[in-house]
Chains A and B, each alone.
Chain A
Amino acid sequence: MSIEVKGLTHIYSEGLPDESLALEDISFRAEDGQLVGLIGHTGSGKSTLVQHLNGLLKPKKGHIIVGDVDITAENVVMRDIRRKIGLVFQYPEYQLFEETVAKDVAFGPSNLGLTAEEVDERVREAIELVGLDYDKVKNLSPFDLSGGQKRRAAIAGVIAMKPEVLILDEPTAGLNPKAHADILSMVEKIHESEKNIIFLVSHNMDDIARMSDKVLVMDHGKMMMDGTPEEVFSRGDELKKMGLALPASMEIAAQLRENGFAVGGTCLTMEETADGIAEVLKR
């Protein structure tokens, strides 16, 4: 499985006075099992791109090919796209609506034409995969869960669809440091267990640097960079011009190097930066 985006272009309010080019000739590939970080300042086109990936928006030009299916083709069945590609919006807990957690998570899969047993099995699996205790939460109202648990329950609703591509838009916004770390280890666990392609949209450069196999950088509707975290974050000045930043570990390394302190290594995590500094000092 892979996802390939070719020459994607989208225009908002075409033909109207406030016409704007939201996506301009976007192309990239993501392979099976990759975790792809997507960064860019607010308004850079990330959300527009993500909404194309699961068919909520149709492009003006270009193609999105998932596996061997072109999901931008005329005759494609929307349900098939949504089954392949799961999108978790920002603050997904606002979308919880059912009486119980189990019913809420079951909403998606029960619309796939599965048997009741299959649906139940998927619901149990998804709830456990997001780190909630199935027997404890299944009959609770989703609104009686804590903030972090609500977010997990909402994500379980998308996981239960078993998407081949999972898109998470700012899954940690507004969470305290521990809840933040917990959600990210949940993402890693889902990735490991489902072997799917995950797109992680985030403003947190530390997380993107640490977790991604590949990083995509958007600015003004264009794809500006596409590479490994090492490649992308070695271009600090360009990122800063786009309103982005370096991960803290790399920012410290960059400032040290500027002052003649030659820290080695990629410094993608604070642990690596500490190693690099210790090496210089022990020389």
Chain B
Amino acid sequence: MTDFIKVENLVFDYIKSEDESTFRAIDDVSFTVEKGSFTAIIGQNGSGKSTLAKNINGLLVPTAGKIYVDGLDSADPENIWEVRQRVAMVFQNPDNQIVSSVVEDDVAFGPENLGVDPKEIRKRVDEALKSVEMYEFRRKAPHLLSGGQKQRIAIAGAVAMEPECIVFDEPTAMLDPRGRREVMNVIHRLNEKGITALLITHFMEEAAQADKVIVLDQGEVKMIGTPLEIFRRAEELKALSLGVPPAVDLADRLRQRGIEVPQDLLEVEDIVRYLCQLK
């Protein structure tokens, strides 16, 4: 697979306006994201996750180091629109991202600003709404929808830009259990269609569903690997104020009771299946 995003020795400093002192939010971070993959980024509050995401789609420009998106240098002002067209972002609070009073107008907002032909916009909006299963709500007012539905509208707005990659910054933090499930299903579906997905989350069971997990702490990459490789390091994760998915937690407690449980059971279904054949 080819690398879609390449982060090389990225450093990012925030500058305080009152005394121009700097705070290093990202400190020498390097990794790559393969085209079409699903990567989760975890780390405690203030670890640099959101700063990293904003660097990737050009909302922030690196202090040092480089980010290449589809081969384009994100720091080159010539490339900025190209980069943002390739990498869309979805944020935590759907209420802060919805601009129109009609669902389909909201989804059309992005492509309209790209100067897309109206017929093409119609097509993109319909397809985007279908991809998040909100097509039948296209004429509704967003404020009358549930949190999960609003977040799916925000995702449709990103999809209508036809990006190659979507960065999801804690998209489920404010949602109820059904809303969380709906949004995770949509992320999987878009990823299966070939969109590169980057998910920032505090829910370990969501990170366990990715192809690759990156663990950030104090602006540095502390771990990088498959969910299996990451979540077997429970003690280190706890030291970084993180946790493990419920299935891993249970497996650990069973081992403490002298029951042998393999390391590769990340999801509830996996451990249930394993235990049932033990009985």
Binding site for B on A (CB under 8 A): 40-43, 90, 146-148, 170, 173-180, 203, 205, 243-245, 248-249, 251-252, 255-256, 259-261, 270-271, 273-275, 277-278, 280-281
Contacts and interface: CB of A to CB of B under 8 A. Distances in A.
Contacts of B256: 274
Contact of B176 (A174, A243, A252): A243
B268 A176 contact: no
Contact of A255 (B173, B175, B272): B272
Interface in B199-245: 202, 204-205, 238, 241-243
Interface string B264-277: 00001101100110
A178 B44 contact: yes
A271 B272 CA distance: 16
Contact of B202 (A176, A243, A273, A275): A176
A244 B178 contact: yes
Contacts of A281: 259, 275, 278-279
25 contacts: A41-B179, A42-B146, A42-B179, A146-B45, A146-B46, A174-B174, A174-B202, A175-B202, A176-B44, A176-B202, A178-B44, A178-B238, A178-B241, A178-B243, A203-B176, A243-B178, A244-B176, A248-B205, A248-B246, A255-B269, A261-B279, A270-B246, A271-B253, A275-B257, A281-B279
Contact of B46 (A147, A252, A274): A147
A173 B173 contact: yes
B243 A252 contact: no
A248 B246 CA distance: 6
B99 interface: no
B27 interface: no
Given A148-B45, A252-B250, A178 B242 contact: yes
- Closest 5 A/B residue pairs (Cβ): A178-B241, A243-B178, A248-B246, A274-B253, A177-B243
B170 A278 contact: no
B128 to A, nearest CB: 22
A203 B276 contact: no
Instruction: Name the residue in A173, A178, A205, A281 with the highest tally of chain B Cβ atoms < 10 Å from its Cβ.
Output: A178
Contacts of B174: 90, 170, 173-174
Given A41-B176, A176-B44, A270-B253, A248 B268 contact: yes
Contact of B45 (A175, A249, A251, A256): A175
Instruction: Name the residue in A146, A148, A248, A275 with the highest tally of chain B Cβ atoms < 10 Å from its Cβ.
Output: A248
A174 B173 contact: yes
Contacts of B46: 146-147
A148 B241 CA distance: 12
Interface residues of B, number: 43
B66 to A, nearest CB: 28
Contacts of A280: 279
A198 to B, nearest CB: 21
Chain A binding site: helix, strand, loop or mixed by DSSP? helix
Instruction: Name the residue in B47, B176, B276 with the highest tally of chain A Cβ atoms < 10 Å from its Cβ.
Output: B176
A273 B250 contact: yes
A271 to B, nearest CB: 6
Given A178-B241, A270-B249, A277 B177 contact: no
Contacts of B243: 177-178
Contacts of B175: 42, 203
A259 B276 contact: yes
A149 to B, nearest CB: 10
Given A42-B148, A179-B45, A249-B246, A205 B268 contact: no
A252 B177 contact: no
A236 to B, nearest CB: 12
A146 B271 CA distance: 37
A121 B279 CA distance: 59
A146 B45 CA distance: 8
Contacts of B247: 252
Contact of B92 (A174, A245, A261, A274): A174
B116 interface: no
A176 B246 contact: no
Contact of A259 (B178, B180, B246, B272): B272
Contacts of B180: 203
B179 A274 contact: no
Contacts of A259: 272, 276
A277 B275 contact: yes
B157 interface: no
A3 to B, nearest CB: 25
Contacts of A249: 246, 250
Contacts of A275: 257
